[in-house]
Structure 1
Amino acid sequence: MCGIVGFAGGLFDLPKKKEVLNQQMDVIKHRGPSGDGDFIDDKVALGFRRLSIIDLAKGDQPIYNEDHTKLVFFNGEIYNYREMRTELIALGHDFKTDSDTETILHAYEEWGKEVVTKLRGMFVFVIYDLQTKQLFGARDFFGIKPLYYTTLADGTFMFSSEIKTFMRHPEFKPELNKTALKSFMMNQYNDLQETFFKGVFRFPAGHYFTYQDGQLDIEKYWDMSFNPSNLSFEEEVAKIDAAVEESVKAHTVADVPVGAFLSEGVDSSYVTSILQPQEVFSVGFDDQTYNEVTAARALADELGLNFNENKVNADDAFAEFDKIQYYLDEPDGNPSCVPLWFLSRFAREKVTVALSGEGADELFAGYVNYGMHSHNSTIKAFTSGLKKLPKGARASLAKAVKKMPAFPGRVHLYTNLANPREFYTGQSVIFDIENPSIFGADEANTFLKPAYQNDGTIQANYQADFDNVADADPVSQMQYIDLHHFMLNDILQKADKISMAHSLELRVPFLDPKVAKVAGEVPTKYLINSHDTKYAYRQASAKHLPTAWANRPKLGFPVPIKQWLEDDKYYEKVKALFSEDFVAEFFDQDKLLALLDANKEQRINGRRKIWTIFTFLTWYKVYFQNVEDYLALG
């Protein structure tokens, strides 16, 4: 696990390149406190920070091939590198280290661009050919590891694991991307490919690139697919469990201690029950309404594991919130950023690697928004019958239901009959037909100043992805959307950035290509039905967990934002920020303060909207008013 940064082109001489690159590497020291490395010539400047996980003694980068004509910089872990290494040695390759990094380079020599299809793991890597002066790089299947890129005014192509390194390049001029603010308000994260910094883009997951003489070419090599099998329910359950068990074991490869995050949910519990690590970690809040620690401790005790518990209070959360947003690069209003920050810091005291449960809901249909909006058996049975109607009849009925006044089961009925293209707004949303987002598209414009208003909607941003899975069933379509939006641009961003802020490597064994292949073959009727969400997956987990854990509802990381914003002390903190002069550049401040007061007086439930705006303003102050203070954190 590491961080990489590099640039190609520009007019700098070698000493100046070295100076700039060193400053950039210092900014991401948190990603690799174990050491650094670089390569500089007349075409490129490539840098690296290392967190030692595999081959502690000889894994420094860059690593060269046998004749020093190619080199590689790598961030991530390859879990099948030992098998690949054996194959490559048999093909005549000579290894100088025991690292997974060197395996990537020799595999590229042997198979060229097809190397990406051979890898199993989380990765961003860049290979430089010293003879042709070509860069070749790739990002992993799901986008577990981050990569950003930009082209500067002088023609320099620059890339990095974290945007903040760009601030140390003298030709980079940070400019706010005005379009991103509305996207953020609707989603709680920026869902555009262009980041909050104008001209800075996220490199897409499952793609590779080549760069040479100013020409950047990007190509897709992998995507999630859905090909339902004809196997029985019991056979699918067995396949799921075999795939998850094998993946968890594969994700333990390391030369350092490996632990696990454990909440009261089924996903982290499933991973932990297979992994059986010595150390497990959980975090709770001093507000007992939002405390997952009790149930997690009970499971750890049953499994005979050492349970490590940490408590967070509101003072801690507000005191650290600016640092959280700094390390995230872009604002993320997902409240779970807060407990994840403290959990990662706490876990790093004992382990360097931790496994977590991200990805199970997207792969195995775990969200209620996929059509589980009622627990009433009669409503669910009635809806199941209507789903057997012809497609056109279902669409007509859905339109009629949408126009009806509210009644029990209305949302459940509508979401099971309608085309997801028409209503689906992702997992940052608590679904409601009339107001389906944190800020609706029109509502966001009423809060924004004219320069930041636009015609964008959540659904419009999803349409190209819906096209990619037009032949899949509705639930699979929604899973695909979440993998390419909520998972990619929110969940995985915060998982990587926050864990790496504390030099902790976080591994996600559900987000594995072998697990994904199995998940894509499970018929939807086995995943979401009258019993539960991700039903077949839950039955697979029950092979390892007590029944009560296998059937636990989806909770995420519950955070007591409601209580905080109704408390005078924290209400005043938010109000002070909302009242600052710079806020008028973006928002109608009177509307913001009215929203805050209405929530405080419990006339509305506006906590998610308030927290989203609070997040953006905190982030803006960090990056556009006080960034030098934060860059010095390393």
Structure 2
Amino acid sequence: MLTAKGTAAEYVNAVEGSLECMYHRGPDAAGTWNDDDAVFGFNRLSIIDLEHSHQPLRWGPEDNPERYALTFNGEIYNYIELREELKGYGYTFNTEGDGEPIAVGYHHWGKDVVNHLRGMFGIVIWDTENKVMFAARDQFGIKPLYYATTEAGTVFASEMKSILELAPALNLDLGLDKRAIEHYIDLQYVPEPESLHANIRRVESGCTVTLSPGGKVISDRYFKPEFHTVKVDDEQKLYDRIADALEDSVAKHMRADVTVGSFLSGGIDSTAIAALAKRHNPDLLTFTTGFEREGYSEVDVAAESAQAIGAEHIVKVVSPEEYADAIPKIMWYLDNPVADPSLVPLYFVAAEARKHVKVVLSGEGADELFGGYTIYKEPLSLAPFEKIPSPLRQGLGKLSRILPDGMKGKSLLERGSMSMEQRYYGNARSFNFEQMKRVIPWARPEWNHEEVTAPIYAQSEHMDPVARMQHLDLFTWMRGDILVKADKMNMANSLELRVPFLDKEVFKVAESIPHEYKIARGTTKYALRKALEQIVPPHVLHRKKLGFPVPMRHWLAGDELFGWAQDTINESQTDDIFDRAAVLEMLKEHRDGISDHSRRLWTVLSFMIWHGIFVEERIDPNIERQDYPVKL
């Protein structure tokens, strides 16, 4: 926290108290530091340099050896190389960890230090000499960083809950943001930089911020992903570059003074990471989860992949009862709701993994970087529509709207009549506007998904259609859903998740791949699959993406979750947001098989549970210290 009037000492106890609700992010040690202007607090999950590198960390040059105070959440994978480079400039170090090189690098390079970091991070540095606070977030948004400003000052935190805990001391208004609520209902997540609380915001991925006491937060984007086409003269060299970059990334991500395991769904992404990790840890443990209902579990597939790479495999099976019981706790950990049912099994597999290891690797980011989503093929299938004059295309769109739902060709005509900016909103959308008005009557058309996507599309006009979709997903679906659930569900269990695909050096290779090497030969991630031919077992190479599929449609219609959903709707105190009768009617239509509303229902139900915890304070998430794992 940076105070506005040099009153930092008054807030030390409040900051210490706010650390309690982030105990899960760092149960190994805690500490605070303050001067007249700033208060720092930190919970540590010890991964590197276990006996030292405690935070808040102090460093400075010889003439002012405690000039800087630093806290940072995450890992810097090139910290060894950074330390050696900075030693070459004459600097000395007091620890062997990855935090001190950030402080030294900031002194040497200033805010450009972020371009020298290879890793995942949320960083805050206070320069006691120049009275400047510097904060930064990693390129892709793997680690979160929230902030809020009042007359008392500005506070940064890895979780929104800590800011909520400080709200009384800061006199922070906790009113909700209706625009953010509509964006959430539309997209299934709250897009950055918003949060559901109007006065709490997030530092965006790939951005730095600076401020002085009493000043405004000034944000600057340092990472601007640029997908561009480079002619491929030698295909094998391209595949070798991909394989080499990924192998180097996994090697760097294995750096730790504790045991590192790997999640394994059985698909190509997680199997590639696990197979490369096995080269560095012969005793590698892999983890997966599944469900009791036949046809939805990928447990057998993952076990087959684990056997093929020679890893010991551990499975967690989740029942519908466990699933429903865990939802309030999970919504508390999330800070803002994410309506992705797969985050629940992720929570359970993380809890199982934490019994054995302190760090796991995973395959997030491969689809966005290498073209892995089936919908990325759409520009090819819709290419003929691009040759049709605009008035005729608009006429086809009107025709599609009068055709019966489910009629063959209706969707093709509808999507073909629209521009990419109109039709592609990213990998998640629960409601169109008419469906949204049914459940939130106050919805405003100007607050729809295009308000989020239009500025992002404006940055990619010069890219090919597939690259534009990838670019959009980096700033929406990936950082709004994929990386939020990855961070929150693993840190809920004091387990650090590392994602080797989302590495700046891997991205340097991925950003130059032409689209014909992403969606070639009727498949996705074509170049990546070719690069992995000597790394993953043959039976995995052309398997579709698996993840942790959840039988939500079946559960909400059946005995497993229908009653729970009905009770949740009836008990929720959200009448100022939702039309309760319309939501109940939607649930009945789903049960009766009239329409599959599972995604829409889960979006609303997730918000209702979140609201019951953070606004109504009616639902107890049952967070207790015994929920946290013992130290390893």
1:139 aligns with 2:137: yes
The answer as to whether partners of 1:70 and 1:130 remain within 8 angstroms in 2 is: yes
The structural deviation recorded for 1:398 is: 5.4
Question: 1:254-282, CA deviations, whole angstroms, 9 ceiling, x for partnerless residues?
Answer: 00000000002111011111111510001
1:443 aligns with 2:440: no
1:177 aligns with 2:183: no
- 1:413–1:539 distance in 2 versus 1, CA, 3 Å: farther
How far apart in 1 are the matches of 2:496 and 2:364? 14
Aligned to 1:423: 423
- Give the letter for the 1:237 counterpart: Y
- 1:228–1:243 distance in 2 versus 1, CA, 3 Å: same
The answer as to whether partners of 2:149 and 2:155 remain within 8 angstroms in 1 is: yes
Structure 1 counterpart of 2:88, from 75, 90, 107: 90
How far apart in 2 are the matches of 1:265 and 1:21? 43
The structural deviation recorded for 1:160 is: 0.5
The answer as to whether partners of 2:192 and 2:204 remain within 8 angstroms in 1 is: no
Question: 1:290-312, CA deviations, whole angstroms, 9 ceiling, x for partnerless residues?
Answer: 11110110111121111001100
- Give the letter for the 1:110 counterpart: H
Aligned to 2:227: 226
Partner-residue secondary structure (3-state), 1:455: helix
Q: How many residues align?
A: 607
How far apart in 2 are the matches of 1:475 and 1:579? 44
The answer as to whether partners of 1:372 and 1:533 remain within 8 angstroms in 2 is: no
Greater shift after overlay, 350-359 or 534-543? Answer: 534-543
The structural deviation recorded for 1:172 is: 2.7
Aligned to 2:628: none
The structural deviation recorded for 1:459 is: 2.4
The structural deviation recorded for 1:417 is: 8.8
Aligned to 1:262: 264
The structural deviation recorded for 1:633 is: 4.0
Question: 1:38-80, CA deviations, whole angstroms, 9 ceiling, x for partnerless residues?
Answer: 2112211111110000000111012222411112111110111
Aligned to 1:376: none
Structure 2 counterpart of 1:369, from 364, 370, 375: 375
Aligned to 2:155: 158
The answer as to whether partners of 2:5 and 2:214 remain within 8 angstroms in 1 is: no
The answer as to whether partners of 2:376 and 2:466 remain within 8 angstroms in 1 is: yes
- 1:617–1:328 distance in 2 versus 1, CA, 3 Å: same
Aligned to 1:315: 321
The answer as to whether partners of 2:285 and 2:311 remain within 8 angstroms in 1 is: yes
- Give the letter for the 1:61 counterpart: Q
The structural deviation recorded for 1:489 is: 1.2
1:168 aligns with 2:162: no
The answer as to whether partners of 2:6 and 2:37 remain within 8 angstroms in 1 is: no
- 1:120–1:627 distance in 2 versus 1, CA, 3 Å: farther
How far apart in 1 are the matches of 2:356 and 2:394? 55
How far apart in 1 are the matches of 2:268 and 2:77? 24
Alignment map for 1:49-88 (pairs within 5 Å): 49-66=43-60, 67-88=65-86
The structural deviation recorded for 1:529 is: 3.0
The structural deviation recorded for 1:194 is: 1.9
Aligned to 1:36: 30
Question: 1:433-482, CA deviations, whole angstroms, 9 ceiling, x for partnerless residues?
Answer: xxxx41112321221143x5453221232111111111001111110110
The structural deviation recorded for 1:556 is: 3.0
How far apart in 2 are the matches of 1:415 and 1:554? 24
The structural deviation recorded for 1:422 is: 2.1
- 1:264–1:92 distance in 2 versus 1, CA, 3 Å: same
The answer as to whether partners of 1:371 and 1:412 remain within 8 angstroms in 2 is: no
How far apart in 2 are the matches of 1:37 and 1:496? 22
How far apart in 2 are the matches of 1:453 and 1:10? 40
- Give the letter for the 1:236 counterpart: L
The answer as to whether partners of 1:445 and 1:454 remain within 8 angstroms in 2 is: no
How far apart in 2 are the matches of 1:410 and 1:557? 31
Greater shift after overlay, 305-314 or 40-49? Answer: 40-49
The structural deviation recorded for 1:393 is: 4.4
How far apart in 2 are the matches of 1:541 and 1:459? 37
Structure 1 counterpart of 2:119, from 111, 118, 121: 121
The structural deviation recorded for 1:241 is: 1.5
1:595 aligns with 2:586: yes
The structural deviation recorded for 1:340 is: 0.5
- Give the letter for the 2:433 counterpart: A
1:239 aligns with 2:241: yes
The structural deviation recorded for 1:108 is: 1.1
The structural deviation recorded for 1:339 is: 0.6
How far apart in 2 are the matches of 1:413 and 1:525? 25
Q: TM-score, normalised by structure 2?
A: 0.91
1:619 aligns with 2:617: no
1:554 aligns with 2:545: yes
The answer as to whether partners of 1:371 and 1:415 remain within 8 angstroms in 2 is: no
Structure 1 counterpart of 2:274, from 267, 272, 275: 272
- 1:628–1:135 distance in 2 versus 1, CA, 3 Å: farther
How far apart in 2 are the matches of 1:249 and 1:401? 52
Structure 2 counterpart of 1:521, from 512, 518, 527: 512
Aligned to 1:296: 302
Structure 2: which 5+ residue stretches go unaligned? 626-632
Aligned to 1:497: 488
- 1:394–1:357 distance in 2 versus 1, CA, 3 Å: farther
The answer as to whether partners of 2:612 and 2:619 remain within 8 angstroms in 1 is: no
How far apart in 1 are the matches of 2:324 and 2:452? 32
Greater shift after overlay, 130-139 or 45-54? Answer: 130-139
How far apart in 2 are the matches of 1:8 and 1:470? 42
Partner-residue secondary structure (3-state), 1:346: helix
The answer as to whether partners of 1:449 and 1:585 remain within 8 angstroms in 2 is: no
How far apart in 1 are the matches of 2:212 and 2:79? 28
How far apart in 1 are the matches of 2:572 and 2:223? 47
The answer as to whether partners of 2:328 and 2:620 remain within 8 angstroms in 1 is: no
Partner-residue secondary structure (3-state), 2:17: helix
- 1:135–1:559 distance in 2 versus 1, CA, 3 Å: same
1:534 aligns with 2:525: yes
Aligned to 1:338: 344
- Give the letter for the 1:91 counterpart: Y
RMSD: 2.2
Identity of aligned residues (%): 34
- Give the letter for the 2:105 counterpart: A
The structural deviation recorded for 1:236 is: 2.0
The answer as to whether partners of 1:21 and 1:45 remain within 8 angstroms in 2 is: yes
How far apart in 1 are the matches of 2:418 and 2:513? 22
Aligned to 1:432: none
- Give the letter for the 2:431 counterpart: F
Aligned to 2:630: none
How far apart in 1 are the matches of 2:87 and 2:572? 64
How far apart in 1 are the matches of 2:602 and 2:530? 36
How far apart in 1 are the matches of 2:391 and 2:373? 25
- 1:192–1:58 distance in 2 versus 1, CA, 3 Å: closer
Partner-residue secondary structure (3-state), 1:568: coil
How far apart in 1 are the matches of 2:239 and 2:416? 24
The answer as to whether partners of 2:8 and 2:39 remain within 8 angstroms in 1 is: no
Partner-residue secondary structure (3-state), 1:125: strand
